[in-house]
Each structure stands twice: as C-alpha cells, then as structure tokens.
Amino acid sequence: MHRRDMLIGTGALLGACATGARMSAETKPLVIAHRGASGERPEHTLAAYRLAIAQGADFIEPDLVLTKDGHLVCRHENEISGTTDVAHRREFASRRTKKTVDWDEVEGWFTEDFTLAELKTLRCRERLPQLRPANTAFDGQEAIPTFDEVCALAKAECVGVYPETKHPTHFEKRGQSFDDVLLDTLARHGWRDASAPVFIQSFETGNLKRLRARTSLRLIQLCAAQGMPFDHLPTGMGLTYADMLRGDGMKRIAAYADGVGPEKSLIVPRDAEGRSITPTDLVDRAHAAGLKVHPWTFRAENHFLPLERRSAGTPAVRGDLLGELRQFYALGVDGVFVDFPAVAVAARQPG
C-alpha cells in the first residue's frame, strides 16, 4: 500500500516519494505507530510496521539499539530475551550476563554482545503474551529488522520514521555513539534536514543537544511522569522531567528540540483509583514555547486505560481507546504514539 499523502504537520511539500507521490501536511494529529502496529503483531517487526502502514499510520516508530559491530537494529531494549528466542538458542547460552543499564541491573542477552549476522539468526516473539495472546501466533516468523530496512520500507510506502535512541549514555560508555550511524543512515535515504519526514526522540538530553549542533532534522524530548534523564545525574544537572517541564523549562527545551513527547498522564492525570481527572495546561504551555506535543502511549487493553474507559472483563479485554484518543485530540495534541494505529486514524474522523 502506498500512502498518497504524508501528514507531518509542517505544511511544506517534502519532495517525491519512491512512488512519485508528493508528501504534504494537511491533517493532524499525527498517528505514530508505536513499535509498529504492536497491539496486533509482535513489536518492532517488519510485519508490525507493514500493518501499521496499511492501517493509515503517518509515522512508524523504531526504537534503536546498537550491535557489537556498530549496526542499528530495532528493539525496545538492548536486552532481548523478552522479544526474541535467544534464551532458547543453545549456541548463545554463554552470552547470558548481568549489566547495569542506566539505573538498573539487568540480566539477559544484550545486542551489543552480538554481531548483526548473529542477531539476524534470532526470531522475534510477542513481548506481552499475557495481554496479547493472539499475537503469539506470529512468534518465530520474523527476524530483527535493521534501521536501514525500516527506512527503506518507510520511504517506499511514503510514511515517516520516528526513531528513538535507546540508552545513548550506556552505549557511549562502551565507545559506541548513535550520532554518526543514525545521521548517516537517514542521509542515505535522502533525509537530511527539517523538510524530511523524520523525528528523532530521546529520553536523554545530551545526545539531542549534540544532534541539534549537527542537523536540522526535527528532535523530540521525551518526558516520563517520574524520574529524570539518565545523563542528568552524572553531569550534576539533577533535573527531573518535572523540573524540565515547569516554569521556563519549555523554553529551555525549545533551544534544542522541536517538540516534547510526554507520558500521557502528564496531560490527563489519574486519581488514586485510576480515573481521569482535570487535564493540565502542558499542551498550551508547550505550544506557547513553539513545541509540538506527541504524548505516549495509547493502548486498547483495559490494563492501560483509565478506569472510566475500561470494559468489563480481564486486563487484556479492549476498552474505549477511541474515546481516550478523541479526548486528547480535543486538547490539541499534535500527534500520538499508539499501538493500534487504525483506532487512532478512526478517531480523527468526526463523531
């Protein structure tokens, strides 16, 4: 399926797609397929990205980690036992180890200990089988995609890419940096500046600031409801995400980024029982600073929804995601990270 319009929210024509179609900006909010259509296929697989594109997503989101030989591959974490069959591969049993990744001690198998060729022998599996048992039917069918493969797919289908650099400080301590390989990969696909259908996101700040000095590609500062960027503590900055967003914080973010990606509870908080309460003014304050707002993550299962939007049944039963998305659209967000792109596309329609 080839998209005829690229909805990136800038209003500028962005050049020809591989199909000859023009990419333009007409509609918002953007539908950003979180790890692909990860509600219906194992995340970060080409199958999940293809389904997201077929469902009308404007961007597909690959989380990026590095291999031992310096390639970018698409995994939510560098520890891969939860999303691949590596734990069942006897030839890699000796690779199991413990590492400190940012704040946490983690045990398992890590992408930086494997070459790309070795990782390509693994097969992907559903990360949340207890909530998405139907997705396990696709276990074992897909290899780990490279970022280059995802970019090629996106360009062929006239959608954008929205990569996240995962644990950049962790990799930098190993002598590996995302900066060159990320920018070089995007440049190979003709994406070099702010006119490209690209956003680069990170929970850290240092790598975004380095990238801003090198590129006009659009950058997004991710913010969680709790905690701080990992690179703030070692540098003595000590700023939490809450600190970054209050007062003149939005203006400081705007000095190096084009938008914020807040955890959705920073926009619509919940009470102790899980019900939505009065929205905050985050969207208005971000817009006043010239920042786009792309909250995360919208999922259909009861487990993830506010109490008033849950259906009867177990945590795995799907509730009123459509209603939640329409609430956020009405608050003026510029895009949403969603596991079910078809629902987010439908929510843009009246009624």
Q: Would you state the structure tokens that stand for residue 181, as one six-digit string?
A: 């390989």
Contacts of 291 (CB under 8 A, 6+ apart): 250, 253, 254, 257, 258, 259, 260
CA distances from 56 to 53, 139, 333 (A): 5, 24, 18
Chain centroid offset of residue 85 CA:
23
Question: How far apart are the C-alpha atoms of 17 and 15, rounded to whole Å?
Answer: 7
Query: Which one, of 125, 138, 153, 137, lies nearest residue 57 by Cα?
Result: 153
CB 116 within 8 A of CB 146: yes
Does the annotation count 34 as an active-site position? yes
The three-state (H, E, C) secondary structure of 209-230, written as one string: HHHHCCCCCEEEEEECCCCCCC
Q: Which of 34, 167, 170, 189 is catalytic?
A: 34
The letter for the amino acid at 134 is: A
Q: Would you state the structure tokens that stand for residue 13, as one six-digit string?
A: 């024509």
CB 257 within 8 A of CB 221: yes
- Burial string for 153-189 (b: 16+ CB within 10 Å, else e) reads bbbebbbbbbbbbbbbbbbbeeebbbbebbbebbeeb
The letter for the amino acid at 30 is: L
CA dihedral 137, 338, 300, 38 (to 10 degrees): 10
Angle at 86 between CA 82 and CA 88, to 5 degrees: 105
Q: Which of 2, 44, 71, 76 is catalytic?
A: 76
Q: Would you state the structure tokens that stand for residue 78, as one six-digit string?
A: 């560098």
* Residues with catalytic roles: 34, 76
